[in-house]
Chain A
Amino acid sequence: MTSRRDFIRISVMGAGALALTRGTFGTAKLLSSPDEVKKLKVDLKRTPTYCEVCFWKCAGWVYKTSEGKIWKIIGNDEDQHCNGRFCPRGTGGVGMYYDEDRLKTPLIRVQERGKQVFREASWDEALDHIAAKMKDISSKYGPESMALFTHGSGSAYFTNLLKAYGSSNIAEPSYAQCRGPRDEAFLATFGEEVYSPEVTDIRDTKCLVLIGAHIGENMHNGQIQEMSDAIDKGVTIITVDPRFSTAAGKSKYWLPIKPSTDIALLLSWIHEIIYNDYYDKNYVEKYCSGFDKLKEHVKDFTPEWAYGITTIKPDLIRKTAKEMANATPAVLIHPGRHVTWYGDDTQRVRAIAILNALLGSWGRRGGFYRPAKYDVPSAKIPKYPESKKSWTDAFPGKYPIASSPVSNALIEASIQDNKPGFLIKGWIVNATNLVSSIPGQANTLKAIQNLDLLVSVDTMPMEITGWADVVLPECTYLERYDMLRISPHRKPALALRMPAAEPMNNTRSGYNIARGLALKLGLESYFPFEKQEELLDWQLKQVGSSLEEMQRIGVKTKARDADDLYYAENENVAFPTDSGKIELYSKAFEDAGFDPLPKYVAHEEPPEGFYRLIYGRAPMHTFGRTSNNPNLTDLMHENSVWINPKVSKEWGLMNGQYIWLKNQDGIISDFPIKVRVTERIRWDSVYMVHGFGHKQKQMKRCFGKGASDTQLITKVLVDPLMGGTGMRSNFVTFVTEKSEKEVAS
């Protein structure tokens, strides 16, 4: 295969492809006679799973009809992630299984009559092809020249495979495109990250502060449930958002902040809390270091100073600071999750961490609880070969505090022109649609042109599959075992995923794909269990359970070893930071050449006639990966662009009208997007939900529906500390005539 590759639509899949037509799934009818009710109780079978539609991984039950067809998915009452209640995406997870557009068989890129096309292949053939290429790359460039981009449950297997092969260049876009700055900021402050699910004690908080976190539109199930419980108990919610979010609608205070000025607001809150003696003195004295330097640093950051920057009235800043103080320590300034906004994100989240520390909320009821988890042994495998070059050698000195590989740095290292310390020549891309999940699409495509091998593992024909040399179709989570879910929570818990149905078509589980490839590469010893269920049973028996038990109960929860959900009064705590204290002032940042205390730096403003592009989530979709799900498209099949009425009037735009968006670099959205005229957005910004505007025709329901924010994010502000890609740095204007669009493109 030559290195230049064309985008191929996965067209060979059309032949007899419709696995199931719409609307025929399940056969359970409305049951109302007592006889039928009895049948319902007796005949339905259920198998345990945990959800893979998002990263929250709620545990539930897959119910089947008496004919054995997957019918519905219901939360497991014992599960702390969901408390028996799935979110719309989890409930609609059945649609992932029944989606007729799924990938069905392995595909290999070939040259036919001068044109690149895919041909269907057997698994053996596809894996042989990949193994040969990987061996080739290893001998030519070294094994480090293979990289893995991965998301979700399959990460464990492909990570194991790549490490066994000799490369540690394994990146999850969930780090540098999402939560990375938050993790680094909390690590730098408390020596610990906030984990997933976050250890936020929303259930018992008296004051919940959301700054760019939109619980209710992001559907982080446990947090939404706890916010709702907290509302019942009379919580005060303070929401900072340029948009009147759903959470803002539930809040006592909404601070309609000017975008990109959050650090100024945070600094003035810190100022208020310190200079009014609102902070928890015992806590700060006992646990924190650097208080005096912080106090000096924020001396001039008064609410009046912040007003000029944020447009938030000083009185409102004072009042909300006092509300936080009144609730201490049961106050929670939420750390957020998708925090890659302006390139100074680690510093912004540091300010959030500092604020929490001053109010004494870390380790306290209503603030952040202490997580606990099961200790489950892994399979015994040989030592991994030493990886001679890691991603940090590609660009020495860059992103010094990054504790995980940076996906965008690996992409940069795949481009010869960037003169990386070593060149990446092969990618395995597992369950992440890189074209859509990484900003700067042109760069990603340029990197792809340089590769000797691109393997895409997915359940759906996402855009990335069109660029692959080999496409490997994974079965959905409803058709496979996966690793045990061992995430930390209030109580240690395990959850099992097992297949509710056989893999559809010629698809395989991630475990079987990775193991199959390991066998071809002579790395069998790293996958000692032929069947994943054997591994699971072995693991479960080490912790006093068994596969048989877990198949019956789905979730196993045990009591904590000690009564340590929160710190005890005056407990001596050794924080896992360099100083053993909560570091208000970061020596580590200072040593690395960065601000030891967060500073506000003004960001670029939209040029005249342009509006800041803000993107976010809808509760019924996860990124772009659910856009074709038949159940979820029923709820939302396209995104819209929110425009303030003042702006729409100026432009003559009508509610419901379709327009194109054009960004500051002249990029026009491929597809038109519906206008939503609403007071819920500021006049200097527009808002859209991420994950629409798919270009892959094989995803018939979502093709061409709505616009892609990623396409319009061409200017990226990279966080110099850890490589996060700030994406709120783009400005768009409106294109109303299709001809104008055609001329431009």
Chain B
Amino acid sequence: MRYAMAVDTKKCVGCSDCVVACQTENNVPHGFCREWVVETMNGTYPQLEIEIRSERCNHCINAPCVRCCPTGASHFAEGGIVLVEHSKCIGCGACMASCPYDARYPHPDGYVDKCTFCIHRIKIGLAPACAAVCPTKCIYFGDLDDANSDVSVVLKKRKSKTLIPEAGTKPQLYFLI
């Protein structure tokens, strides 16, 4: 099993619903977020193009955060989801420093926190909160080992990219372009 997510940049409008849905679902404290929206623009008026991306932890196969965690708090859970065991986390920040995507934040309660792909929802058959709420349905989630999952199907059909592939982290967050 290999969980992955694909975000369709052609449909995303950057409304940030994913961010606030994640915040309420996971009780992310105000002033912090587990996901965020990025907009890039190219060209000069009036020859312009923009790309809008909903970003979060890339749940890398070769995750530097897991490798560098001194206590084993950062670990791989089922389907390759990268999690932080709060009780083991000492808040040293090594993982934050090692993450090329800046996907982690220091929770005020003393541990490092990040996207979990809403593993608590996946376990009861629900999509991650961001994918479930998105008004444009631009977030696809599922198991890459299952050829019929939403994410497998859309990644087969469409051109996609990952962010900072040169970091060699083998990210599992894809962007449809």
Contact = CB atoms under 8 A, between A and B. Distances in A.
A225 B27 CA distance: 26
B94 to A, nearest CB: 21
A32 B119 contact: yes
Nearest to B136: A228
B108 to A, nearest CB: 7
**Interface size range on B against A:** 35 or more
B20 A634 contact: yes
Contacts of B138: 228
A408 interface: no
Interface string B44-59: 1110111010000000
B9 to A, nearest CB: 10
Contact of A88 (B16, B43, B49, B120): B16
Given A23-B108, A29-B27, A249-B50, A232 B11 contact: yes
Interface residues of A, number: 64
A631 B123 contact: no
A72 to B, nearest CB: 4
B33 to A, nearest CB: 7
A91 interface: yes
B125 to A, nearest CB: 10
A41 B41 CA distance: 43
B177 to A, nearest CB: 13
Contacts of B13: 215-217, 224, 246-247, 250, 619
Contacts of A244: 41, 45-46, 48, 50
A133 interface: no
B145 to A, nearest CB: 21
A635 interface: yes
Contacts of A31: 120
B73 interface: no
A258 to B, nearest CB: 12
A634 B30 contact: yes
B137 interface: yes
Interface string A21-36: 0110111111110101
A409 interface: no
Contacts of A37: 120, 123-124
B120 A30 contact: yes
A92 B20 contact: yes
B20 A91 contact: yes
A246 B14 contact: yes
B90 to A, nearest CB: 18
A94 interface: yes
A219 interface: yes
B124 A40 contact: yes
Interface string A74-106: 110000001011111001101000000000000
A143 interface: no
A156 interface: no
B41 A225 contact: no
A710 to B, nearest CB: 24
A680 B42 CA distance: 10
A28 B136 CA distance: 27
Contacts of A29: 27
A71 B24 contact: yes
B137 A74 contact: no
Contacts of B134: 85
A72 B25 contact: yes
A30 B20 contact: no
Nearest to A249: B50
A449 interface: no
A679 B119 CA distance: 41
A644 interface: yes
A630 interface: yes
A228 B137 contact: yes
A470 interface: no
Contacts of A25: 27
A632 interface: yes
B74 interface: no
B26 interface: yes
A279 to B, nearest CB: 29
A228 B15 contact: no
Contacts of A254: 46, 48
Contact of A23 (B21, B30, B46, B132): B30
B27 A231 contact: no
A651 to B, nearest CB: 17
Contacts of A450: none
A221 interface: yes
Given A249-B49, A254-B46, A634-B31, A620 B20 contact: yes
B23 A634 contact: yes
A106 to B, nearest CB: 29
Nearest to B118: A30
A289 interface: no
B124 A224 contact: no
A631 B23 contact: yes
A203 interface: no
A679 B45 contact: yes
Contacts of B29: 22-23
Contact of B133 (A75, A631, A634): A75
A256 interface: yes
Nearest to B77: A32
A249 B22 CA distance: 26
Contacts of A678: 41
Interface in B122-150: 123-124, 132-138
B7 interface: no
Nearest to A21: B30
Interface string A234-246: 0000000000101
Nearest to B23: A631
B19 interface: yes
A678 B123 CA distance: 44
B30 A231 contact: no
B135 A635 contact: no
A619 B41 CA distance: 19
Given A23-B108, A30-B120, A225-B135, A680 B45 contact: yes
A370 interface: no
A305 B10 CA distance: 35
B116 interface: yes
Nearest to A255: B46
A231 to B, nearest CB: 6
A631 B24 contact: yes
B10 A91 contact: no
B24 A26 contact: yes
Given A216-B13, A228-B135, A635 B20 contact: yes
Given A37-B124, A250-B13, A619-B13, 14 more contacts: A25-B27, A26-B24, A88-B20, A91-B20, A91-B24, A92-B20, A94-B24, A216-B15, A250-B11, A254-B46, A256-B45, A678-B41, A679-B41, A680-B50
12 contacts: A32-B83, A41-B124, A86-B21, A88-B20, A92-B24, A221-B135, A225-B135, A228-B135, A244-B46, A246-B14, A247-B13, A634-B33
